Amino acid sequence: MLNYIIPFIIVILVVVFIHEYGHYYFAKKYGVGVTDFSIGFGKEIFGWNDKSGTRWKICWIPLGGYVKFFGDRNVYSQTDHNDILQKYSEEERKKLFTLKPLYQRSLIVFGGPLANFILALVIFFSIYTFVGKDFTPAVINEVQKDSPAMVGGLKDEDIILEIDGNKVKSILDVSKYIMMSTNEFIDFKVKRSYDEILLKVKPNIVLSEDNLGNKINKRMVGIKLGAYNNEINHVKLGPAQAILHAVNEVYFVSISSLKYIGSMIVGKADTSQLGGPIRIAKISGQVADIGLLAFISMMAYISISLGLVNLFPIPMLDGGHLMFYAFEKFLGRPLSQKTQEGFFRIGMFLLLSLMFFTTFNDLKDIGLLR
């Protein structure tokens, strides 16, 4: 159990700290008072006060965190500015988040997800610079008999160039692009002799195991891959190339995740793959056993997911705050408190539903539910 819990806590501490520090950084930049910087919820385990009066603390429930601003009573656009002006002195008003210009409030809120994307960029950049990136072309060594690949027209010795419009730069890209595809047919672009050929393959959905031994519904096309000319091409990149490929990876993961979520909403994608804290803890432990590099890479992907999910326009999330600010900009005034509270209830319902659904999947994943 400790093999799961300790890596999970490390991942959560890092990605949540970075997220909250993004909010904190912009808050301090624009002179907003910060009273609390908390990693976790519930009762404080330990903490300290810095010279500006911020209480930095670690709490018992490691499922998130928060930054609390001076005078903060409500996270949404404020409609009671007159009351605020009367309650606080002129010096105190300078530290109030709610009285800052709209663009500053928006940047403070956006700072959290932005920090998560930057963390992922730094991790990928470091890996590509100091460890390297694989650029081994993917060659089909074998097309299994009567498989979707054979039906679709793929042949031995085909070099895979693209999958669903994504360039295959490495043999490692093939399984990633097949897994992330949500269409009924997967588009393959292959090089055969001197020709480039476009083929459509309808994958089989097979209950299988991933590389960590977890049960998943896997999209299978029936091919075995090998390295082109049996040569592995693993290259340490220079700074410019490393940052370019890091940006590309963050972009691909973000766009693919959004497409996958969209497909789940319309019933095209497998919703059983959506997991919560229990599954993250399980996978964290499994990946930590593989090695430090795999663990740090997984941390980058979780950081992207945290940043992305927080941008959803759901009240209680950063994207919900930004949605209210967009209304405020468009209307020239904040939405009424009653309207905001209505959105808040909808957001609470959506988040609780998501928590219930992911927990249900997690319990099935560990065998407590059938």
Residues with active-site annotation: 20
Q: Are 111 and 26 spatial neighbours (Cβ–Cβ below 8 Å)?
A: yes
3-state DSSP assignment of residue 213:
coil
Using alpha carbons only, give the angle 356, 357, 363 rounded to the nearest 5 degrees. Answer: 85
Work out the number of other CB atoms within 10 angstroms of the CB of residue 298. 20
Work out the number of other CB atoms within 10 angstroms of the CB of residue 64. 16
Distance from the first to the final alpha carbon of the chain:
22
Q: At 167, phi and psi to the nearest 5?
A: -65, 130
- Residue type at 289? D
Q: Rounded to whole angstroms, how far apart are CA atoms 110 and 361? A: 30
Task: Give long-range contacts, CB 8 A cutoff, 24+ apart: 79-86.
Answer: 79/333, 79/334, 79/335, 79/336, 79/337, 80/337
